[in-house]
Chain A
Amino acid sequence: MSTLVSTALVDQVRAAVASVDDPEYPDVSIADLGLVESIDVEAGPDGPVAVVGLIPTFSGCPALDMIATDVERAVTALTDVHECDVRWLPGPVWSTDRLTGTARATLADDYTVVLRRKDGGLRCPVCGSDDVDVQSQAGPTRCRAVAWCAACRNPVEVMR
Chain B
Amino acid sequence: MHTLATAPATGRTWIDLDDFQSFIDAGGMVEPGDDMPGEYRDEVFRFIEFHANSELMGGLTERDWIPHAPGLRLKQIFLAKTQDEIGHAHLLYMVAADMGVKTRTEMLEDLFAGRSRFHNVFHYQAVTWADQIAIAYLVDAAAFASQRAVFAECTYGPYKRVLKRIVAEEGFHMRHGEEMLLRLATGTDTQRSMFQEALDRWWWPAVQLFGPDSDPDDPLLRWKIKSQRNEDLRAAYVQKYVPLLHGYGFTIPDPELHQDDDGTWHAGPIDWEPLKATMRMGGPDSKRRIDTAARNWADTAWVREALDRRGAGT
- A residues near B (Cβ < 8 Å) are 23-26, 60-63, 65-66, 108-113, 125-128, 135-136, 138-142, 144, 146, 148, 152-157
Which residue on B lies nearest to A125, using beta carbons?
B5
Q: Pull 5 A–B residue pairs with CB atoms less than 8 Å apart, ordered by A.
A: A24-B168, A111-B164, A112-B5, A127-B7, A155-B95
Q: Please give 13 more A-B residue pairs, beta carbons under 8 A apart, in addition to A153-B31, A154-B158.
A: A23-B172, A24-B172, A25-B168, A112-B165, A126-B4, A128-B7, A138-B83, A140-B83, A141-B84, A146-B94, A154-B161, A155-B95, A157-B91
The verdict on B282 contacting chain A, using a C-beta distance below 8 Å, is no
- Against A, the Cβ 8 Å flags (1 = close, 0 = not) of B159-175 are 00110111011011001
Contacts of A111 in B (CB 8 A): 4, 164-165, 168
Closest Cβ–Cβ distance, residue A57 to chain B (whole Å): 12
A66 vs B169: C-alpha distance when bound (angstroms): 13
Contact B171 A109 (CB under 8 A): no
The proximity string for B residues 220-250 relative to A, scoring 1 for CB distances below 8 Å and 0 otherwise, is 0000000000000000000000000000000
Q: Is B28 at the interface (CB under 8 A from chain A)?
A: no
B77 contacts A62, C-beta separation under 8 Å: yes
The 6 A-B residue pairs whose C-beta atoms are closest, nearest first, are: A140-B87, A62-B80, A153-B32, A109-B3, A155-B94, A23-B172
Q: Is the CB of B87 within 8 A of A138?
A: yes
* Residue contact A153 to B165, C-beta cutoff 8 Å: no
Instruction: Scan B70-90; emit 1 where CB is below 8 A from any A CB, else 0.
Output: 000100110111011111101
Binding site for A on B (CB under 8 A): 1-8, 10, 31-33, 73, 76-77, 79-81, 83-88, 90-91, 94-95, 98, 157-158, 161-162, 164-166, 168-169, 171-172, 175-176
Least CB distance from B156 to A in Å reads 11
Give CA–CA (A25, B86) in the complex, Å: 19
What's the count of A-B pairs with C-beta under 8 Å?
A: 108
List residues of chain A with CB within 8 A of the CB of B164: 110-112
State whether A155 and B158 are in contact (beta carbons under 8 Å apart), knowing that A62-B76, A112-B4 are contacts in the complex: yes
User: Are B169 and A140 in contact, with the CB atoms below 8 A?
Assistant: yes
Given A23-B175, A66-B175: A152 in contact with B32 (beta carbons within 8 A): yes
**In the complex the two chains form, what is the Cα distance from A55 to B185 in whole Å?**
32
In the complex, A109→B161 CA distance in Å? 10
Report B225 CB to chain A, min CB distance, Å.
Answer: 17
Contacts of B91 in A (CB 8 A): 140, 146, 155, 157
Q: Is the CB of A148 within 8 A of B94?
A: yes
Tell me the nearest residue of chain B to A124, going by C-beta.
B5
- Contact present for A110 and B4 (CB under 8 Å): yes
Nearest-neighbor residue (CB-CB) of B77 within chain A: A62
Bound-state CA distance A22–B2 (Å) is 20
Cα distance A46–B87 in the bound complex, in angstroms: 47
Contact assessment for A109 and B73 in the assembled complex, using a CB-CB cutoff below 8 Å = no
A146-B87 contact in complex given A60-B76, A109-B1, A154-B161, C-beta closer than 8 Å: yes
Inter-chain CA distance A25–B87, complex, in Å, is: 16
Q: Is the CB of B7 within 8 A of A112?
A: no
Contacts of A125 in B (CB 8 A): 5
Report B-chain residues with C-beta under 8 Å of the C-beta of A127.
7-8
Inside 8 A of B3's CB, which chain A residues have their CB?
109-110
User: Does A152 contact B7, Cβ atoms closer than 8 Å?
Assistant: yes
Measured CB to CB, the closest approach of chain B to A75, in angstroms, equals 19
